[in-house]
Amino acid sequence: MEKPVMCKIIDILDESPTVKTFLLDKEFDFKPGQFAMVWIPGIDEKPFGFSSKNSISVAKVGRFTEKIHSLKKGDLLGIRGPYGNNFECIGNKILAVAGGIGSAPIISAVEEFSKMNVEVTSIIGGRTKDELLFLDRFEKCGRIFACTDDCSYGFGGFTTEKMLELLSKEKFDMVITCGPEIMMKKVVEIAENNDMPIQVSLERYMKCGIGICGQCAVDDEGLCVCKDGPVFWNDKLKFVSEFGKYKRDASGAIL
């Protein structure tokens, strides 16, 4: 197992009340959708997706992420990776659907695709306006539809509702999505009903990040999210019965 690269935090951006982006003094040659194992010396190591070549974006959801949020400029993080596979670009017209912190891997893909002169339309969601992530970056890459649960900004409703409305008027060559799994399951259903291939970025509890420990294996197929994913085409997801239903904790128990 490779040793982590020690990186100094050179800046911290408050993206929302619960999400911070940590800019690092080193750049990583990653592909959109890949992730890193992030180590806090003396604490623990967890997986996070890259939001740019020298940054990770972290939502505060537990003790480990609370610790990351307490770090300051000049503090160190260990980075292993990048690991996993990545989003692929098929066709010239792509729809990206992101919810919450799922906007982090999606924005890197959207930016990469737009550089390839691909027409990208993004639907991003948050509970409130303050929780919509990377609005400025999405706007630079093409059309964007922002959705809020509380109707405080943009479309008042879920990303999937906006997706249905959009698909009643036009078609796309493919869809990419990342966000809450219950949202992604619906996005997959809509895409398949409209005969569009779709790539989904899954999140699971990980320990090694390289397919050795089996902690992130899904169902009887033995697919490891860290090695076979985290990005899966919909034809693979049909064999993952837990998709959109439940996750597992560090012990493997169903949550």
pLDDT digits (tens, 9 = 90+) for 157-193: 999 999 999 999 999 999 999 999 899 999 999 999 9
Say how far apart CA 62 and CA 104 lie, in whole Å. Answer: 18
Q: Is the pLDDT of residue 96 over 80?
A: yes
Residues of each annotated binding site: 208, 213, 216, 226
Instruction: Work out how many domains the chain is built from and give that number.
Output: 3
pLDDT in tens, 45-69: 999 989 999 999 999 988 999 999 9
pLDDT higher than threshold 60 for residue 30: yes
**Which of 155, 35, 165 is CA-nearest to residue 95?**
165
Q: Is 70 in contact with 159 (CB distance < 8 Å)?
A: no
* Amino acid 241: pLDDT: 66
Q: Output the average pLDDT for the chain.
A: 88
189 and 147 share a domain? yes
Report the run of H or E that residue 114 belongs to, with start and end: helix 103-115
Residue 162 CB contacts under 8 Å (≥ 6 apart), including other chains: 123, 145, 147, 155
**Structural domain span for residue 223:** 203-255
Instruction: Please check whether residues 146 and 237 belong to one and the same domain.
Output: no
pLDDT at 204: 60
pLDDT of residue 208: 53
Residue 95 has pLDDT above 60, yes or no: yes
183 and 246, same domain (yes or no): no
Would you state the pLDDT for residue 230? Answer: 82
pLDDT at 225 over 70: no
User: Residue 251 above 50 pLDDT?
Assistant: no
> What CA–CA distances, in Å, run from 71 to 10, 110, 223, 227?
11, 29, 34, 29
Query: Strand 76-83 relative to strand 93-99: parallel, antiparallel, unpaired?
Result: unpaired
pLDDT of 249 > 60? The answer is no
Give residue 233's pLDDT.
Answer: 87
pTM for this model (two decimals): 0.88
- CA distances, 104 to each of 22, 55, 139, 170, 231 (Å): 12, 10, 15, 26, 14
- Backbone torsions φ then ψ of 105, nearest 5 degrees: -70, -30
Q: Examine residue 16 and state whether it is found in any structural domain, yes or no.
A: yes
Domain edge (last residue) among 177, 201, 225: 201
Contact by Cβ (8 Å): 38, 45: yes
**Mean pLDDT of the region 220-232:** 68
How far apart (Å, rounded) are the C-alpha atoms in residues 42 and 141? Answer: 40
Task: Pick out the residues of the known binding site for [2Fe-2S] cluster.
Answer: 208, 213, 216, 226
What share of the chain in percent tops pLDDT 90? 72
Task: With cut-offs at 50, 70 and 90, classify the pLDDT of residue 242.
Answer: low
Classify each residue of 175-205 as buried b or exposed e, where b means 16 or more C-beta atoms within 10 Å of its C-beta: bbbbbbbebbbbbbebbbebebbbbbbbbbb
Single-letter amino acid code for the residue at 86:
N
Residue 114 to residue 176: CA distance in whole angstroms: 14
Residues 150, 69 share a domain: no
Same domain, 196 and 208: no
Residues 191 and 208 in one domain: no
Is there a single domain that holds both residue 158 and residue 115? yes
For residue 121, pLDDT over 90 is answered with yes
- How far is the C-alpha of 254 from the C-alpha of 246, rounded, in Å? 7
